[in-house]
Amino acid sequence: MNSIACPRCGEDRQLQTHQMAYNTGTSQGSLRGYAIGTSTSTSLSVHDVSGRVSQQTNLAGQTAPPDPPMSIVSLCLLGFLGWFAGTLVFDFIHWLIAGALFFPLSSLVVAFKLAWFLLGLPALAVLSYRWRKNKNESYQQAISDWHRRWVCLRCGTSFYE
């Protein structure tokens, strides 16, 4: 069926793609359990907290697909936090300088702070957009590489087709 052989031990039967190895090695199970809590203010209830658990074998861990890039929501949140932290830093510097009465410097800091306040967010948005686009491209590449990867079940060598 295939002319592919393991480059290390020459095995040509017990080979799997990383995708196959990952899928067969990741099993879905279920967990049953109950928790007692109050669902309304008046009654005590029992909640079903059953859920799915997934379990991975070592092989599945080794053949796992690449991690997708950070979600847009987390990136926005992170960007906003960075911007907010930046305004605090400017405030702090301003406070330090104002305390020392360096007035010319102080107004310079105010100008920078204002610029950051107004332009920081758009600048961060543009930067993170480009950063994510880059990440996305390398992720696409990593995923397509992953699809072409095999693992030898005899000696554990992982190789490209």
Q: Name which position in 132, 135, 149, 154 contacts Zn ion (CB under 5 A).
A: 154
Contact between 6 and Zn ion by CB under 5 A: the answer reads yes
**Tokens (6 digits) for 54:** 């997934």
Q: Are 65 and 19 in contact (CB under 8 A)?
A: yes
Candidates 4, 11, 17, 83; binder of Zn ion (CB under 5 A) is 11
Q: Does the protein bind Zn ion through residue 152 (CB under 5 A)?
A: yes
Choose the stretch contacting Zn ion; rule: CB under 5 A; options: 9-17, 51-59, 82-90, 93-101.
9-17
CA distance 83 to 75: 12
Give least dist CB 13 to Zn ion, A: 10
Q: What angle do CA 124, 126, 127 make, to 5 degrees?
A: 65
Residue 125 CA, distance from chain mean position: 18
Q: Which residues bind Zn ion (CB under 5 A)?
A: 6, 8-9, 11, 152, 154-155, 157
